[in-house]
Amino acid sequence: MKPFRVLCLDGGGMRGVYQAAYLRAFAARVCGEGDTELDVGRCFDLIVGTSTGGIVASALAAGESLSKVDRLYEEHGKEIFPGQWIRRVPWVGLVVPLLGLGTRRGETALRSALEATFQDKTFRYVQEVRGISLALTSIDMARHAAVVFKTRHLRRLNGRDDNRTLVDACMATTAAPILRALARLTEPGGEAHVVYADGGLWANNPGALGAIEAVEILGDREEARPIHLFMLGALPAQGGEELSDRRRYRGALGWKGGLHAISASLNSQAVGYDYLSKKILELRKDESMAFRLPAQCPSEQLLKYIQNMDDARPKVLNALRRQATSDVDYAWAQSVKPGSEMAHFRAALTDGLCKQKGEG
């Protein structure tokens, strides 16, 4: 029996380019020579995304090509995060996020780019036409409550998000405080307005959410299948800092207006939720597993670039693509080892290709 396959995509701002390039490169390896473009979304039963990972997840679930996702970042990144040149000036660049400069223009640019990518596709479309379960994280600011937009893949769900557009959900999951405007959305089927913030504030790594959703889905269906859950990051900069006694006593300026506090939260979540997702699935004792797709240590230059989630300069995006290609080379070598986690990931895409060709 084939495992229930889950793909979880972390948040990371413009570093979503890395995720799109990684999946595209690995899929190309699976397809080999020829013009076939693998429908990566249909290789998974459930796709879960947060923030920029929510955009990539939505594209996969909706059947949009990864090259189209890459173009979204390439062509619109500097409009989504305007004032690129001043953002890179030491200390002076802090003025942009501290004062929220450009957030109104950035919101308009992002919505326009998302509408061009997804049109009016909804969660109902993803479930009924594509046959894929999808979950995206956010926060309801009126209640400071964690929210998960999802397809109706569980019996207990009432279809709240059936008519919610992918555009609206992506606006909500990517609404990063300081870097972006919060998202004000009209709820489906009503006149109520709700303000949402980035889901990365509580689940930048949505692996644990993916594990819980998968367990409940299989319980609903009464299917005894192992779960293979794969997590793909957005190449976060290595966190951590050695602090002198004097630097312990720092205010907002020392935290760079709160940006460093957010980074600390995101980095610690990546580690903590990796552990939780693995433990949740290990406890099933049926060969279920959770695995973070491997990434090599970035170059010194790239490490400087990825300190900021809003860096949309072409040279930064190209460096992210180069790193993704290198990481896929490494991961592909691991995938030839029978029974390895990467072999299971390769099998997911290979099975998807066979099904796409009508062979599975």
Tokens, residue 67? 């090259």
- β 4-9/289-292 pair status: unpaired
**Residue 229 parent element (H or E):** strand 227-232
What pTM value is reported for the model?
A: 0.92
Check pLDDT > 90 for residue 333.
yes
The residue-averaged pLDDT of 317-336 equals: 95
Q: Are strands 4-9 and 46-49 parallel, antiparallel or unpaired?
A: parallel
pLDDT for residue 19 is more than 80: yes
Rounded to the nearest 10°, the torsion over CA 278, 127, 140, 115 is 120
216-235 average pLDDT score: 96
- Crossing angle for the helix pair 166-173 and 103-118, to the nearest 10 degrees: 140
Catalytic residue among 70, 198, 327, 351: 198
Rounded Cα distance, 211 and 193, in Å: 31
**118, 64 in Cβ contact below 8 A?**
yes
Query: Of the given ranges (28-37, 155-164, 236-245), which has the lowest mean pLDDT?
Result: 236-245
pLDDT at 141 over 90: yes
**Residue-range domain boundaries for the chain:** 4-356
Is residue 51 part of the annotated active site? The answer reads yes
| Helix, strand, coil tally for the chain in percent (to 5) | 50, 15, 35
pLDDT at site 185? 96
Does residue 346 have a pLDDT over 90? yes
Helix (H) or strand (E) holding 151: none
Decide if 198 is catalytic.
yes
Q: What is the pLDDT of residues 127-140, one digit of tens each?
A: 999 999 999 999 99
Catalytic residue among 45, 51, 161, 351: 51
Spell 156-189 as b/e; 16+ CB within 10 A means b.
eeeeebbebbbbbbbbbbbbbbbbbbbbebeebe
User: Exposed, middle or buried by CB within 10 Å (0-12, 13-18, 19+), for 264?
Assistant: middle
Residue 237 confidence (pLDDT): 60
pLDDT, tens only, 67-123: 999 999 999 999 988 765 565 666 556 666 666 666 788 899 999 999 999 999 999
Q: Which of 37-51, 264-278, 279-293 has the lowest mean pLDDT?
A: 264-278
pLDDT score of 202 more than 70: yes
Helices marked H in the chain: 16-31, 52-62, 66-80, 84-87, 95-99, 103-118, 123-128, 166-173, 200-203, 207-221, 259-282, 300-305, 314-335, 341-356
Instruction: Give whichever of 90-99, 143-152, 267-276 has the largest mean pLDDT.
Output: 143-152
Of 111, 21, 8, give the one whose Cα is nearest residue 50. Answer: 8
The pLDDT of 53-72, averaged and rounded, is 97
Helix (H, G, I), strand (E, B) or coil at 228: strand
Mean pLDDT, to the nearest integer, of 276-299? Answer: 93
Q: Which two tokens stand for residue 144?
A: 């400071």
**pLDDT band at 63; cut points 50, 70, 90:** very high
Nearest to 58 by CA among 199, 236, 218: 199
Q: What are the residues whose beta carbons fall under 8 Å from the beta carbon of 200, sequence distance 6 or more?
A: 11, 50, 51, 137, 176, 266, 269
Task: Please give the share of the chain, as a percent, with pLDDT higher than 70.
Answer: 93
Superfamily in which the 4-356 domain is placed by CATH: Cytosolic phospholipase A2 catalytic domain (3.40.1090.10)
Q: Over the range 104-134, which residues count as b (16 or more CB within 10 Å of their CB) and which as e?
A: eebbebbbebbeebbeebbbbbbbeebebbb
Band (pLDDT 50/70/90 cuts) for residue 300 is confident
Quote the tokens at residue 283: 């406890």
Instruction: Give pLDDT, residue 310.
Output: 83
Tokens 């790239």 sit on residue: 302
